[in-house]
Amino acid sequence: MFYFFFMDFEDRRYRIAGRAAGTNHAGRFERHRREVVDDGWQREEDEPLPMLRTETTEERPRRIITYNRSPDLPFDRSINPYRGCEHGCVYCFARPSHAYLGLSPGLDFETRLVARPDAPEVLKRELAARSYRVAPIAIGTNTDPYQPIEKRHGIMRRCLEVLAEAGHPVAIVTKGSLIERDIDILSDMARRGLVRVGLSVTTRDAALSRLMEPRAPAPARRLATMRRLAEAGVPVRVMVSPVIPALTDPELESILADAQAAGARHASWIMLRLPREVSPLVQDWLAQYYPNRAERIMARLREMHGGKEYDSAWHRRMRGEGPYAELIARRFDVAVRRLGLNARATPMRTDLFRPPKPESAQLSLF
């Protein structure tokens, strides 16, 4: 079942189905705001509003590998085949990145997407550079590489083909069941110690999932994907992310147990994060769907961030501090020990890497 509602006073031009954000406020870098005024001439019963559809444009990147120096991340480089994400998770910490494109972190983030079709070729060129030094590449850390538009564009699969041919290690994060399409590549890379997959499961409640991550696969479908990957020999981590206080936190142990039964070998968790525009979007969502819990949820988050809705400091931004954060961490630790999900993951191999051969019209002598 999809839930239908209308945008607030800011924009009543479209009917929204299966979208998590309820507003589309201009990005923080924009000088102007727009406001739609109802002149009283058009009534919905006379002419139904058109459905808000997903639009995709293309970008030709000069570089595709993004490097970071964040001390609380287990990787220093990543790839994003797409900007924006049609899964539309209301809590997505990556929403503010859409403001750099002159778009809204609200509905634009989940409806105005950017595909990067040249990403595989650019990746191949960067891996072939003399200065390149191999280390695991993370994919899916900002937007999901297996969101619905990947079925049409196939950018992620072509990136995997480049990495597999070069013997390059990769860590993938997704909610998308479309990853099953690439089991042929992933199973081969797994045999060579070149891949790990993290599947995010936020709740076991399908109705709740449909409200807060409306176009992502249902929780049971994600567990089925986890099982298929595990049966193919691909090492899988269940990511209980984000944990939402007083909403999804009671499910922590049951999610871990279901994932372990589906073949997950490892587990991790992250507390709900509300950077920049994410905070008002989530608070609007809570007011609409969980008004009786909204105040309690926000109070818990503020307790963990020194009275603020979010603290971006290294090592605190992912989990917060204080009694409640410590309680969740303790529950998680006890559960993963009991389920055998706390084993240290084997490092991915880097010794198999061979730089791709540069494209050239000149024939090789050997």
**How high does pLDDT run on average in the chain?**
91
pLDDT of residue 9 exceeding 50, the answer is no
Torsion of CA 314, 70, 117, 99, to 10 degrees: 40
More confident of the two residues 343 and 134: 134
How confident is the model over 136-145, as a mean pLDDT? 96
**What pLDDT, on a 0 to 100 scale, did the predictor assign at position 25?**
85
Could you report the per-residue pLDDT of 278-310, keeping only the tens digit for each?
Answer: 999 999 999 999 999 999 999 999 999 999 999
**What pLDDT, on a 0 to 100 scale, did the predictor assign at position 344?**
87
Banded model confidence at residue 10, pLDDT cuts 50, 70, 90 = very low
Could you report the per-residue pLDDT of 14-59, keeping only the tens digit for each?
Answer: 667 778 888 888 777 777 776 666 666 666 566 666 778 899 999 9
pLDDT of residue 7 exceeding 80, the answer is no
Indicate whether 57 belongs to any domain: yes
Range of the domain at 155: 4-25+53-339
CA–chain centroid gap for 96, Å, is 13
**What pLDDT, on a 0 to 100 scale, did the predictor assign at position 45?**
63
Indicate whether 85 belongs to any domain: yes
**What pLDDT, on a 0 to 100 scale, did the predictor assign at position 22?**
82
Q: What share of the chain is helix, strand, coil (3-state, %, to 5)?
A: 35, 15, 50
Could you report the per-residue pLDDT of 53-83, keeping only the tens digit for each?
Answer: 899 999 999 999 999 999 989 999 999 999 9
Indicate whether 40 belongs to any domain: no
Query: Half-sphere exposure of residue 229, counting CA atoms within 13 Å on the CB side?
Result: 37
**What pLDDT, on a 0 to 100 scale, did the predictor assign at position 4?**
36
More confident of the two residues 84 and 7: 84
Q: Which residues contact 111 (CB under 8 A, 6 or more apart)?
A: 19, 52, 53, 54, 55, 84, 86
Indicate whether 361 belongs to any domain: no
In sequence order, the β-bridge partners of residue 173 are: 198
Instruction: List the CATH number of the domain containing 192.
Output: 3.80.30.30
How confident is the model over 325-350, as a mean pLDDT? 96
Indicate whether 249 belongs to any domain: yes
pTM of the full structure: 0.90
Contacts of 43-46 spanning 24+ positions with Cβ under 8 A:
none
**What pLDDT, on a 0 to 100 scale, did the predictor assign at position 190?**
98
Contacts of 150-153 spanning 24+ positions with Cβ under 8 A:
150/81, 150/82, 150/176, 150/178, 151/178, 151/181, 153/56, 153/81, 153/115, 153/117
Beta strands in the chain (DSSP E): 4-6, 15-17, 55-58, 65-67, 77-79, 82-83, 112-115, 137-139, 170-174, 195-200, 236-243, 266-271
Asked if 131 and 121 touch (Cβ cutoff 8 Å), the reply is: no
Could you report the per-residue pLDDT of 213-268, keeping only the tens digit for each?
Answer: 999 999 999 999 999 999 999 999 999 999 999 999 999 999 999 999 999 999 99
- Write the DSSP string, 81-92: SEES-TT--TT-
Indicate whether 76 belongs to any domain: yes
Of the candidates 149, 205, 212, 206, the one whose C-alpha atom is nearest the C-alpha of residue 22 is 212
Could you report the per-residue pLDDT of 169-199, keeping only the tens digit for each?
Answer: 999 999 999 999 999 999 999 999 999 999 9
Indicate whether 355 belongs to any domain: no
pLDDT of residue 3 exceeding 70, the answer is no
Q: How many domains does the chain have?
A: 1
Indicate whether 318 belongs to any domain: yes
Backbone angles phi, psi at 350, to 5 degrees: -120, -10
